[in-house]
Amino acid sequence: MIKVSVMYPAGEGHTFDMDYYCNKHIPMVIALTGQACKKVEVEQGLSGGVLGVAAPYMAIGHIYLDSLDDFLADFLPHVPEFNADIPNYTNSTPIAQISQVKL
């Protein structure tokens, strides 16, 4: 299984519209990736590693696909559309990571 994680760094002046992200952006990602999308998770940062310390990320989105081939065929071609939507919900520059899930 492949997991695409997109992390939105917190910082002074950074904003994030969780309602838009969950109700507009994520459904668009699911629709465009189609059957290749096996699961989606959205996290909202609450704290850093110590309670009371600011979370390093305002939000993190994860999409799961069966294989790297599915990522290349069904996710990667839509990245320009995904990126074009970013200003609608945040002014933070996201950091992406593609991982192979082992457990």
- Residue 37: per-residue pLDDT: 97
Of all residues in the chain, what percent carry a pLDDT higher than 90? Answer: 96
Check if the beta carbon of residue 75 is closer than 8 Å to that of residue 2: no
Q: Between the CA atoms of 15, 93, 75 and 30, what dihedral angle is there, to the nearest 10 degrees? A: 0
Taking the CB of residue 9, how many other CB atoms lie within 10 A of it? 17
**Domains defined along the chain, listed by start:** 2-100 (3.30.70.100)
How far is residue 75's CA from residue 69's CA, in Å, rounded to a whole number?
10
pLDDT digits (tens, 9 = 90+) for 45-91: 999 999 889 999 999 999 999 999 999 999 999 999 999 999 999 99
